[in-house]
Amino acid sequence: MSRPKPATFDKKKIVAENRRARFDYAVDTTYEAGIVLTGTEVKSLRFGEGSIAESYAEVKGEEVWLVNSNIPEFSHGNRFNHEPKRPRKLLLHEREINKLHGAVARDGMTLVPLMIYFNGQGRAKVELALAKGRKAHDKREHLKERDWKREAGRIMRDHG
């Protein structure tokens, strides 16, 4: 029997976060994926540069790729500097890739990166969410529900 996965991942330093993703998408499950980077990309990320605001992930064959993420060139890099918007391979287990591929193909789900961070061992990781896009009326309903929960918490706190 396999060991259960932790609910939250060990995040030591968050580099890039896609804050709009939780508003635009209804997040179903999250996965922690490794990311294949070159040396200058790691250095740029350690300096806190990078953006995943417009990026997404896609399954191609047996591999998952992070597309349209921007890691700017390293300022002290030389001629071996990396290309800022190149597709980057994500590292997941084979059964996770099969599960993601099935959900994307069958259920109309989307793979959205939520954040790039460094874990406790200093490795760059991507928190990837399997999500379904929200329509405009769903977004309004989500806002109303969130505001009501916040207001209910205030009322409970004030009136004991």
Residue 79 tokens, joined: 């001629």
Would you state the torsion angle of the CA atoms of residues 74, 78, 84, 86, taken in this order, to the nearest 10 degrees?
Answer: -130
Ramachandran angles phi, psi of 112, nearest 5°:
-120, 125
pLDDT below 50 — which residues of the chain? none
Question: What is the Cα–Cα distance from 76 to 104, expressed in whole angstroms?
Answer: 40
Q: Which domain holds residue 59?
A: 13-133
Residue 149 forms part of a structural domain: no
**33: helix, strand or coil:** strand
How confident is the model over 109-136, as pLDDT tens digits? Answer: 899 999 999 998 889 999 999 998 888 8
Residue 152 forms part of a structural domain: no
Provide the number of structural domains found in the chain. Answer: 1
Residue 8 forms part of a structural domain: no
E strands, 3-160, in order: 13-17, 25-35, 56-60, 63-67, 88-91, 110-118, 124-133
CATH number of the domain within which 46 lies: 2.40.280.10
Residue 122 forms part of a structural domain: yes
Question: What's the predicted TM-score (pTM) here?
Answer: 0.80
How confident is the model over 135-152, as pLDDT tens digits? Answer: 888 788 888 988 999 999
Residue 32 forms part of a structural domain: yes
